[in-house]
Amino acid sequence: MTQVCLVGSEDVNLRYELLSRETARNALATYDLQEPFANTVAVDTVSLGAAVALLNDLNWYLVRFADAAFVRDPSISETEWLSRDLAAAIRDDDVAPEDTGRFLKVYGIVESDVPDESTDEASSEGESEATTGTQAKETERPPELVEPMLLTRTGDTIPEYDLQDVDDTLIVRVTESEFGA
């Protein structure tokens, strides 16, 4: 399965904006919408071509409400994502998949904190562990993508993300023109 992840702009609720408009809602109707990161919408598609086609169908909304769109195709990389432009270039045979790992945009991932107050109160009131666990899950939020950093891969490793303390990173392969080189 090829995955698509749309990252909403800071000042909008991406899921709401997409689902409140008929054309976008229809384009997404056959997909199971997920939220792997805060203010994102992700779906699984059948191929790289289907992923690029979906992004093209949603272009009007992406320009207005999204900061980025990523595609992850397991035939190219199990862990690294492709920018929308790079995914389209691979689909169109303008770039070979094996030539895509040099230019990177690396996002920090920060885990959302679950408020301790709600679980402490529930425990002190004598509620069962099962109830407390359910309440904790209800208050959990997906991790947040923060401040991307442009990096160039020169070997098997890449420099560490150092813009702020993060729990993990998300690597997106980009085109040379997106990199700014």
- Choose the most confident range, by mean pLDDT, from 39-43, 97-101, 177-181: 39-43
Q: Which residues contact 166 (CB under 8 A, 6 or more apart)?
A: 108, 109, 110, 146
pLDDT score at 180? 81
What's the mean per-residue pLDDT of the chain? 88
Query: What 3-state class would DSSP assign to 42?
Result: strand
The residues with which 82 forms a beta bridge, in sequence order, are: 71, 173
* 26-35, 123-132, 148-157, 167-176: segment of lowest average pLDDT: 123-132
Token pair of 175 as six digits: 């085109």
Residue type, 96: A
Give Cα 169 to chain centroid, integer Å.
Answer: 11
The percent of residues above 70 in pLDDT, for the chain, comes to: 85
pLDDT score at 119? 40
Mean pLDDT of 74-101: 96
Residue 90's pLDDT band, with cuts at 50, 70 and 90, is very high
Compute the Cα dihedral for 111, 115, 118, 121 and give only its sign.
positive
The answer to whether the CB of 111 falls within 8 A of the CB of 146 is no
Residue 113 neighbours by CB distance under 10 Å: 9
Closest to 57 (Cα-Cα) out of 22, 89, 82: 22
Instruction: Please indicate, yes or no, whether the overall pTM of this predicted structure exceeds 0.85.
Output: no
Query: What 3-state class would DSSP assign to 174?
Result: coil
